[in-house]
Amino acid sequence: MKAAQIIPILRIFDYQKTIEFYIDWLGFEISWEHHFEENTPVYMEVKKNNIILHLSEHHGDASPGSSIFIWGEGVAEYHKELIDKKYKYNRPGLEKTFYEAVSFTVNDPFGNKIIFNEKFDEAKHKDLKFYSID
């Protein structure tokens, strides 16, 4: 078997907080939403470039507190874009990891983590200021 695409499902609890975090702050867009009928939980797809996530209010679809690890490019620039928005609930630090990546983690309002990573390149990333826990 060869996978064509992998789409993680994250548990959410509040539609408005979901929109504030994923759409307004992270810059995803809603591809589609589904409700079985009026006043039932939402199941939705959001995307940002080629990152696709499914977000579900249905309790059996996923466990809160999940983590997603994403490799990509432009991580430092995306980090700056998010910091510049001054979102009051999340100000992630940029770090150089032990696995030689430029990385930052965001925590959604429902306990899920998204970890954005880019392979460290000395020439490209030499002037970055990293968060340090020393």
Instruction: Give pLDDT tens digits for 43-91.
Output: 999 999 999 999 999 989 999 999 999 999 999 999 999 999 999 999 9
Number of domains in the chain: 1
Q: Answer yes or no: is 24 within a domain.
A: yes
Q: Answer yes or no: is 3 within a domain.
A: no
Distance of CA 85 to the CA centre of its chain: 15
Q: Answer yes or no: is 46 within a domain.
A: yes
pLDDT band at 131 (very low <50, low <70, confident <90, very high): confident
| Residues of the domain holding 98 | 9-125
Are 55 and 12 in contact by the 8 Å Cβ rule? The answer is yes
Q: Answer yes or no: is 73 within a domain.
A: yes
**Cα–Cα distance between 99 and 72 in angstroms, integer?**
14
* CATH code for position 69: 3.10.180.10
Q: Is 118 helix (H, G, I), strand (E, B) or coil?
A: strand
Q: Answer yes or no: is 84 within a domain.
A: yes
Tell me, what's the pLDDT at 133? 54
Q: Answer yes or no: is 2 within a domain.
A: no
Q: Answer yes or no: is 134 within a domain.
A: no
Q: Answer yes or no: is 17 within a domain.
A: yes
**Cα–Cα distance between 107 and 71 in angstroms, integer?**
17
Which residues are registered as beta bridge partners of 11? 56
**Cα–Cα distance between 134 and 124 in angstroms, integer?**
24
As given in the structure block, the two tokens for residue 106 are: 């965001």
**What global pTM score does this model have?**
0.93
| Of the candidates 48, 49, 46, the residue with the CA atom closest to the CA atom of residue 10 | 46
- For tokens 């679809």, the residue is 61
